[in-house]
Homo-oligomer: A and B are copies of this chain.
Amino acid sequence: DRPLTIIAGPCQLESLDHAQMIAGKMKEACDAAGAQYVFKASYDKANRTSLSGKRGLGIDEGLKTLQEVGKSIQVPVLTDVHSEAQCAPAADAVDILQIPAFLCRQTDMLLAAGNTGAVINVKKGQFLAPWEMPNIVTKIESTGNRRILLTERGTTFGYNTLVADMRSLPQMAQTGYPVVMDATHSVQQPGGQGGSSGGQREFAPVMARAAVAVGVGAVFMETHQDPDNAPCDGPNMIYLDQMPALVDTLMQLDAIAKARPLTL
């Protein structure tokens, strides 16, 4: 199996400069550790906890910015889409379309995304068992698209809490598609701060290390130079300056995990 890919970036696009700064530093860290790097950012946060949550640059400026980051930093780019209509323009600008967890069962979204021919990263809904993912895979495959990634981002565990079940990783890998561990959303505390989600940033490296030792294709992490002042997901984003050491540790664990693959 190939070495680990790191998918990382800020929760929300803030500006071209900011995106390039983060993409640049992450690429450097990944190059140093031998990881492939994919830049990640959202142009619109369509399902904020509350109406007053900031939604971002919007699709037009957002996609332009993402495309520019990809070109200038020379990295593949991932972004999330929120309706059928967004899939085609997003696929023109970025390499990987991400289906948000809440929307992972919306058949028309999956078909529209699949039809673009882009790589599709589906986040497993917080309400879904890992063995339900083949049904979702089949929807995408029906478009002829077999470039699929499946992401664990935590499962509802009582109220305002998620739990990441490590069994989900090899379970989803049985589809034959690469599995991604979302280390920062799985430590979210949904709605845990009333008008916004809380989070436990300190546990994100726990999730990343655990998943890599089990064996995954990629780790997804949101990162920011100043999470507490970021427009969204601050409580669970990882400090940008802690990423080089974390990525390096993950690559060391990955080498062992890939040399001794787990099979169910």
Contact = CB atoms under 8 A, between A and B. Distances in A.
B211 A107 contact: no
Given A102-B102, A157-B157, A165-B163, A262 B46 contact: no
A54 to B, nearest CB: 12
A166 to B, nearest CB: 5
Given A51-B142, A253-B253, A191 B159 contact: no
A166 B202 contact: no
A231 B102 CA distance: 24
Number of copies: 4
A36 interface: no
Interface residues of A, number: 66
A207 B156 CA distance: 20
Contact of A262 (B47, B125, B155, B205): B205
A121 B232 CA distance: 28
Contacts of A207: 166
Nearest to A51: B139
A187 to B, nearest CB: 7
29 contacts: A46-B108, A47-B106, A49-B105, A50-B135, A50-B138, A50-B139, A51-B138, A51-B139, A55-B107, A82-B106, A102-B105, A127-B190, A129-B160, A129-B190, A135-B191, A157-B157, A157-B158, A157-B159, A158-B159, A163-B163, A166-B210, A167-B203, A169-B206, A202-B264, A203-B264, A205-B262, A206-B262, A209-B262, A253-B256
